[in-house]
Each structure stands twice: as structure tokens, then as C-alpha cells.
Amino acid sequence: MAVSANTPIALVNEVYAKLPGNVAVARERLGRPLTLTEKILFNHLADPRGQAVERGRSYA
């Protein structure tokens, strides 16, 4: 069985281009180093600067 990726490379590049900025925002908001999971979650937020983030309650 062959495996293929159907995600356009432009979309992948756009997501990864936002990562450093969103991680910086998350570090600033949380005031500490981030786990890998937190980095991924903050990169999925529509508004990483203003969106409410509460452990166990927020959705990305």
C-alpha cells in the first residue's frame, strides 16, 4: 500500500513560518519555557496573542 501526502506544500510552509512568532507569544504569555505540546497548541490558535487559554477548558 502506497502512502502519499495531499497537503499542499504552500500550506505547510505557511504553518511552519508562523511557528517562531507564535512560540514567542506563548512564552511571553505563560512566562516560562514551553513543552512541545504547548508549542503545537499555540501554533493552532487563531489568535495566539488574545485567545483565552485555560488548562482543561480551552479548545484549539
∠ CA(22), CA(14), CA(44), 5° rounding?
A: 45
Look at the chain and report how many structural domains it folds into.
1
More confident residue, 42 or 3: 42
Examine residue 57 and state whether it is found in any structural domain, yes or no.
no
Q: In the Cβ-directed half-sphere of 21, how many Cα atoms lie within 13 Å? A: 10
How far apart CA 21 and CA 7 sit, in angstroms, is 22
- Evaluate if pTM is beyond 0.85: no
Structural domain containing residue 19: 9-44
| pLDDT reading at 2 higher than 90 | no
The grid coordinates listed for 5 are 501526502
Q: Does residue 39 lie within any of the structural domains?
A: yes
pLDDT, tens digit, for every residue of 4-43?
788 899 999 999 999 999 999 999 999 999 999 999 999 9
Domain assignment present for 13: yes
* CA 15 centroid distance within chain: 8
In a domain, 16, yes or no: yes
Question: Is the residue at 26 inside a domain?
Answer: yes
